[in-house]
Structure 1
Amino acid sequence: MTLLNLDVIKGELEKQRAAWYDAMKNGTEEEQKAAFNDFAEGMQNSFAEKAEALIEEINEAALDEKALVDRGLMKPMTAKERTFFNKAVEKQSFDGLDEVFPETIVEDIFSRLTEEHPIISLVDAHQTGALMKYVYIDPTKQTAFWGRVPDDIKQILLDSIKTINFETSKLSGYVVMVKGFFKLGPAWLAQYVTTVMYEIMAASLEIAIVRGNGKDQPIGLTMKLSGAVDGVYPKKDRLKLNDLKPLSLAGVRAKFAEEKTDIGEMSALVHPVTYWTKLFPNLAYQTDEGKWVLTNLPTGEKIIKSYAVEEDEMTVGVLKNYLLAVSGNTELKKYEETLAIEDLDLFVTKFYGTGLAKHQNAFFVYDLSDMQGATMATGDGPIDVKRPGHLLEPTPEETNEEVEKP
């Protein structure tokens, strides 16, 4: 496959990722499965191309773990990781292995997410090993005192200390395996599984942090912390915002100050489309010298673009006031149900995690639908990814040539 065709696949992978995000936010179960199938196949194609190109370039060294680590292409594996993936290669499957899935894989993925991901890196994120409960303190409550300890210290502590249970939130994702991937060896297999799980955790955790409804999943920062019906928490009230002037934004910041939930870096989360159609046109201005300058929000929030946010909304708050905790207790098993992916083995990975805002008024959500902004341009139709080479050669049908019949 030519380099151009590989670039087409990679470009299409970004579109498939965005479509998967949209399906997880608003789609039916079938639409979510279909979108994930498309994304999984795209990721598998992209990874397979990378592996094949590297193997062709450095030959036998591409199957040597030490050579890959020395070249910075793979991370070194722990003894437990090496044993697990060696056994998987021997059996050509993850099913029925005596070894448990290595916790260190989840630890490494979570560590990367807390460094690289714009939202996960800013929330109060914890990886708890095999623990299934986590204790935290409400940041707005007083838990230390000068002088005599108050008589009602027990009640004060009970009101301040909170416990969340991981067992109520299990995240399941799919690891799609081309049957030949097991033959690439343990180092490549570990790299592929880690890549897939990183994508699953990045997308799923980001959406859960922003808009999880609390039923078998975290309670998102755009949801209320009370009023749940059958385990589903209602959305926060949306505050109308028609412009970005100080007078329009200052009222919410005053409420943060009253609740003491404004300590730390304030962030504003918006969908990328909303940023370009609503925020950017209202934040860019031209100086007297004719130079265009992009200013910040007058109240100083750091703007973070995320596909997990609803379009025409902006959520404001200190992200450290959102608690995210993930357990390393992970399973990887063969998925027996049929999905629309041919010639592939499908495994389901399950891990536990939960999250919620530490205070009911830690975040506020603005409705920007009436704000004046830019009109989004229309684009071309989708690329035919089943035949990416069509960018190089048109078919007879595309050139109106007569097709010779056999």
Structure 2
Amino acid sequence: MLGNVSDVKQKEAINAMQSALMSGDEEAGKQAWQQFLDSVVQTVKEDYEMFETDKRVLVQRGYRQLTKKEEEFYQKMIKAGKSADPKQEFTDLLSTESAMPETIIEDVYRELTEQHPLLSRIKFQNVKYLTRWILNDHSKQSAAWGEINSEIAKEITSSFKTIDVNVCKLSAFAVIPKDMLDLGPIFLDNYIRTILREALYCALEKAVLKGSGKSEPTGLNRDIHKGVDFNSETGYPKKTAIKITSFLPKEYGGVLARLAVTETGRMRTFDRVTLVCNQVDYLTKVMPATTVMNMNGTYSTNLFPFPTDVVRSNELDTGEAILFLPEEYFFGLGGSKDGTIEFTDEYKFLEDQRVFKIKLHGNGRAFDNTVAIVLDISALDPAYITVLNKKEEVVA
């Protein structure tokens, strides 16, 4: 919860960072990232000042009790950061298999899924240090009596897909002032986790929705049907949007039916779907199309004929929405065996600062092409109550 001026500035910096990423302005992105780092530093320092006076507040603000392994990791990191030759110290640190404990990354995952509705709905999996992940593509397999032969083995094997988690790497640079190293492991942990969390959020949400599949995850708006042409420059092609004008049962049911059959022709059962649109479209299109005034003079909202969770994401363009089955999208994310945090000299820095690179490997995609539908909601009509006026015949 935002409780002080630094927190407000941090929120503003995060919004600026998201806007810069959406615009593609690299220079604005660098400035927004630096603004964000500065705001986190200021927040952590202010929290440190209240450490002895009110520890309960720190717990409420996201600081946690470290495990023994986490404590040892941060102590070694602090020692390396203060060293006259930090690059060598970090090399030694990683060579002793003192990589970032998995519990730190797991905590970041938990906060991501708790705070961001879209990420809380997809199948988000911590793959730890694995580089490949095998998925069952849900194709129907039938057992058959008879002799064991290669055809049966081939059929069963074909029902699995492999995702190369290591192929996509997410990197972020963190500038840590030397005086912050003096605050100790608990505060350094909060600083690192905050940077990881926000960097991941900004990158993950866009990737889940619009990733091209080229050196990044494959988004829900991409056409991944079997045999589709993959462009070495632009990745998978975008899906063609289906235009809808209402959420009335007949029209909406027809759209939902497209999700009910997999690429292999098997029927798929589901009880809820998720609809993603940006904030403007929600207020001007989706909300009016799912809200009516009832007999009591008050408004009834979220009136979908089929259970639908609406999630807002400003990564989508105006007039565009994505309808999908969240449990049918997999995202594997984990650390690197070479270390999640490493010292870098790619940036020139002042004597009182240390620059570190934070890196994670991951990949994601839908199970097949029928998991998601792109909708054109630009002509979505407001909802209204239909009254049928039936004239009764009078029998003489």
Is 2:354 the counterpart of 1:355? no
Q: What is the count of residue pairs matched by the alignment?
A: 360
TM-score, scaled to structure 2: 0.80
| Contact 1:262–1:318 (CA under 8 A) maintained in structure 2 | no
Cα distance change, pair 334–252 in 1 and its aligned pair in 2 (3 A): same
Give distance in 2, aligned partners of 1:31 and 1:17: 12
**Unmatched runs of 5 consecutive residues or more in structure 2:** 383-396
> Compared with structure 1, are the counterparts of its residues 21 and 148 closer, same or farther at alpha carbon in structure 2 (3 Å cutoff)?
farther
The equivalent residue for 1:385 is none
What is the letter of the counterpart of residue 167 of structure 1?
N
Distance across 1 between alignment mates of 2:20 and 2:269: 33
The answer as to 2:242 corresponding to 1:243 is: no
- Equivalent in the alignment of 2:386: none
Decide whether the 8 Å contact of 2:62 with 2:190 is kept in 1: no
Q: Secondary structure at the match of 1:55?
A: coil
Deviations 1:15-57 (A, max 9, x none): 33233223323413333323322333333333333333x2363
Partner of 2:229: 227
Within the alignment, does 1:120 sit opposite 2:108 as a pair? no
Cα distance in 1 for residues equivalent to 2:21 and 2:61: 34
2:375 aligned counterpart, secondary structure: strand
Partners of 1:234 and 1:250 lie apart in 2 by 26
Alignment-derived partner of residue 288 in structure 1: 295
Q: Indicate the residue corresponding to 1:300 in structure 2.
A: 307
Which SS does the other structure have where 1:20 is aligned? helix
* 1:9 CA drift (Å): 4.1
**1:15 aligned counterpart, secondary structure:** helix
The match for 1:210 is 209
Kept after mapping to 2: 8 A contact 1:315/1:364: yes
Q: How far did residue 184 of structure 1 move?
A: 0.4
Aligned CA-pair RMSD:
3.1
Q: Is the 8 A contact 2:271 2:307 kept in 1?
A: no
Corresponding position: 1:266 with 2:273: yes
Alignment deviations for residues 78-132 of structure 1 (CA, whole Å, 9 cap, x no partner)? 3322112112223435743313222321122224434543222222221122111
How far apart, in 1, do the equivalents of 2:361 and 2:62 lie?
A: 29
Contact 1:218 1:354 in 2 (8 A): yes
| Equivalent position of 2:14 in the other structure | 17
- The corresponding residue for 2:75 is 86
Range 157-166 or range 145-154, more displaced: 145-154
1:50 aligned onto 2:50? no
Identity percentage of aligned residues: 25
1:4-403 paired onto structure 2 within 5 Å: 7-52=4-49, 54-55=50-51, 57-58=53-54, 74-93=63-82, 95=87, 96-97=89-90, 98=93, 99-139=98-138, 141-143=139-141, 145=143, 152-225=151-224, 226-230=228-232, 232-259=235-262, 260-329=267-336, 330-338=339-347, 344-371=353-380
Segment drifting more, 264-273 vs 360-369: 264-273
Aligned-pair CA distance for 1:14: 2.8
- Aligned equivalents of 1:360 and 1:315: distance in 2? 13
Q: By how many angstroms is 1:149 displaced?
A: 8.4
TM superposition score normalised by structure 1 = 0.79
Whole-Å separation in 2 of the counterparts to 1:360 and 1:339: 45
- Shift in alpha-carbon separation, 1:101–1:146, aligned structure 2, 3 A: same
Residue 162 of structure 2 aligns to a residue whose secondary structure is: strand
Distance (Å, rounded) in 1 between the aligned partners of 2:72 and 2:239? 48
> Which whole-Å CA distance do the structure 1 matches of 2:273 and 2:348 have between them?
42
Instruction: Give how far 1:290 is off.
Output: 1.1
Which whole-Å CA distance do the structure 1 matches of 2:351 and 2:368 have between them?
Answer: 47
Give the secondary structure class of the aligned counterpart of 1:82: helix
**Matched residue, 1:402:** none
User: Is the Cα contact below 8 Å between 1:69 and 1:76 reproduced in 2?
Assistant: no
| SS at structure 2 position matched to 1:192 | helix
Distance 1:183 1:68 in 2: 21
**What letter is aligned with 2:35?**
D
